[in-house]
Chain A
């Protein structure tokens, strides 16, 4: 059912692409996309067929009465698998066929039969069922995290770009004692523990930047973004898990609650992982928006608007923001890689049973067919979005088309 919907959307987008960019160009791009997709999936398939292990293992398998290529099946079925089971599995998965045939059979099953195969061979769980159950979790995670990232990045980006053109003020005299007082409060409340220390440092720098304003604030914001960019997601995830779930009891690691369990429960179960992913994505958006805004702020029409007497806020939000969001919107669509990263790492850390956790399990259990399918789906999504954005850009900037043919 969902598949049909997806297919319709895809077709609609394809039609739009052809319309927007002209048939010749669109065909070239789409053709390229399909080619890449085929190559990728074939490559994946080929790699899989070379995993059957060393000669000694294969010989051992043969001696046992099963196919030489049965290693993945043996792993998938686990201990206690009979020879018949293994042979059946080998047959089902076409492990005995050569690479091309394997690929062809797989492709046929996916595209023609629309059968996504089994998630776990042993218990016969269907992949489509698994996806139906787990994919929403990953999707929500992605959605919330990107929303958080935008919520953080957009105001910061605007503010920082605005500050970039101003001189830094001197701090009023009362800031220092007030700042120290606030920090002490945080320390007392936080208990002067490990994570509070980090929070203190960042808070101090932030307060200072806000009050000083100007280029200093902009530089500091930029540096903060840079630092955030350099923290691996898993380090960030673990640190925040410690700070909120272990050191204190703010976040419960009780696992995912869907919307049906109530909005509050749902949000409570997922906000921290979403925050982690969001923080990881924020610096990317922040820097892009800031750079675009700075560029636009230097345009003449901004001076004109100022001369017309418009307030700074008005100019920032109504004149400059809109053209500056172009790159941002593009990157948003291309952040699928983040989705994968988040799904795998964050779901692992926070024990959410989404597609990421499933993938890890599938890898461990050598569920290669399922893996192949999922990789293909993800790659297809990736390639398709890329092509879409590419074509979008041609519609916006015709120079790109010419550059391509050079």
Chain B
């Protein structure tokens, strides 16, 4: 969306906040528990994936994701194999854990790069204004004028399907989005009196940017970081679903779903389980990001 339209759309969102801003209401208590649940889920997912990475098959509930189990070809979920089995009996649960490694790694790296690069861009543009701002805005507009999926597929196709390329492509998405948000937030903060006061006192502008402006932009940035991570997981999942992400034998969540859909009637669990995991993870990320926004910057949140 354009700057303007987005800003106006966001403006109208905050109206709903007036309804539910009471900290003692029943709704708030429900939200707090949900928040805890969401955070808990994220911690769980990340821990399991991390543990799987470090310890591999030595963990009791993990098996070799490529391991063939003759006894359970295309089987549905069971006690032994909680997520069911694939066409050669591979344990889907282990596949999901290993797939998570790649998917989450890509998502976190992209978000981190986006925060650093996009954040810096936004800060400079929003604070120094002038030529820097015009330039950054131009770059943002250019990068955002191709629909996300199209751009990413394009890059992956013209280069190769390595993890680096995928990260590169997704970062090209994250940077302008985050830069725009950071810029808007910086504009607001830079307008505040304590910043103007520091400027009048003669403090060096770069110092003001670092010490005064950035800490006040951080909360919004962190909230959007969560939201962005969720979006990246979805885009990467879509990519690997289409077969355009990292090459096999690397497993990603979208890949498992893509495999599962081939013989859908036999293997619905191969679609449902990773799908459920993706859904819950993205939902938690969105929820956490949204709630953080509410605490820091009430205008932008929606729940």
Contacts and interface: CB of A to CB of B under 8 A. Distances in A.
Interface string A332-347: 0010110111001100
Interface stretch (B46-54, B152-160, B204-212): B152-160
Interface stretch (B14-22, B61-69, B93-101, B108-116): B14-22
Contacts of B286: 226, 229-230
Given A238-B257, A238-B275, A337-B147, A230 B282 contact: yes
Contacts of B271: 235, 238-239, 242
A348 B242 contact: yes
B4 A393 contact: yes
B4 A331 contact: no
B242 A43 contact: no
B9 A330 contact: yes
B287 to A, nearest CB: 7
Given A232-B237, A383-B145, A389 B12 contact: no
B242 A344 contact: yes
Contacts of B153: 344, 359-360, 363
A154 to B, nearest CB: 15
Contacts of B148: 337, 341
A22 to B, nearest CB: 16
A194 B234 CA distance: 23
B172 to A, nearest CB: 10
A378 B16 contact: no
A185 B111 CA distance: 46
A288 B8 CA distance: 10
- Interface residue tally of chain B, by bracket? 35 or more
Interface stretch (B117-125, B193-201, B215-223, B260-268): B260-268
A40 interface: yes
Given A51-B158, A239-B275, A291-B13, A378 B142 contact: no
B131 interface: no
Contact of B150 (A222, A231, A340, A390): A340
A118 interface: no
Nearest to B157: A363
A112 B173 CA distance: 32
A116 interface: no
B152 to A, nearest CB: 10
B147 A386 contact: no
Interface in B9-54: 9, 12-16, 18-20, 27, 30
Contacts of A239: 271-272, 275
Contacts of A393: 4-5, 8
A43 B244 CA distance: 21
A301 to B, nearest CB: 16
Interface string B207-241: 00000000000000000000000100010011001
- Interface residue tally of chain A, by bracket? 35 or more
Interface string A360-375: 1001101010010001
A331 B20 contact: no
Contacts of A50: 158
Interface in B278-300: 278-279, 282-283, 286-287, 290
A292 B145 contact: no
A222 B275 contact: no
Contacts of A312: none
A298 B16 CA distance: 10
Interface string A368-400: 100100010011001100110110011001001
B8 A215 contact: no
Contacts of A230: 230, 279, 282-283, 286
Contact of A232 (B15, B154, B278, B290): B278
Interface of A: 32, 35-37, 39-40, 43-44, 47-48, 50-51, 164-165, 194, 215, 218-219, 222-223, 226-227, 229-235, 238-239, 241-242, 246-247, 287-288, 290-292, 294-295, 298, 327, 330-331, 334, 336-337, 339-341, 344-345, 348-349, 359-360, 363-364, 366, 368, 371, 375, 378-379, 382-383, 386-387, 389-390, 393-394, 397, 400, 406
29 contacts: A36-B141, A50-B158, A164-B19, A194-B272, A226-B303, A232-B278, A234-B237, A234-B257, A235-B237, A241-B264, A246-B264, A246-B268, A287-B13, A290-B16, A291-B13, A292-B15, A295-B15, A298-B15, A327-B5, A327-B12, A330-B5, A337-B148, A340-B150, A348-B242, A360-B153, A360-B242, A371-B157, A389-B4, A397-B8
Given A234-B241, A238-B257, 17 more contacts: A39-B138, A47-B155, A164-B19, A194-B272, A231-B279, A235-B271, A246-B268, A247-B268, A330-B9, A331-B5, A334-B5, A345-B149, A348-B242, A371-B157, A378-B147, A390-B5, A400-B4
Q: Which 10 A-B pairs have the closest CB atoms?
A: A295-B15, A230-B283, A340-B147, A235-B275, A51-B158, A363-B157, A337-B147, A232-B234, A386-B2, A230-B282
Interface of B: 1-5, 8-9, 12-16, 18-20, 27, 30, 129, 138, 141-142, 145-150, 153-155, 157-159, 230, 234, 237-238, 241-242, 244, 254, 257, 261, 264-265, 268, 271-272, 275, 278-279, 282-283, 286-287, 290, 302-303
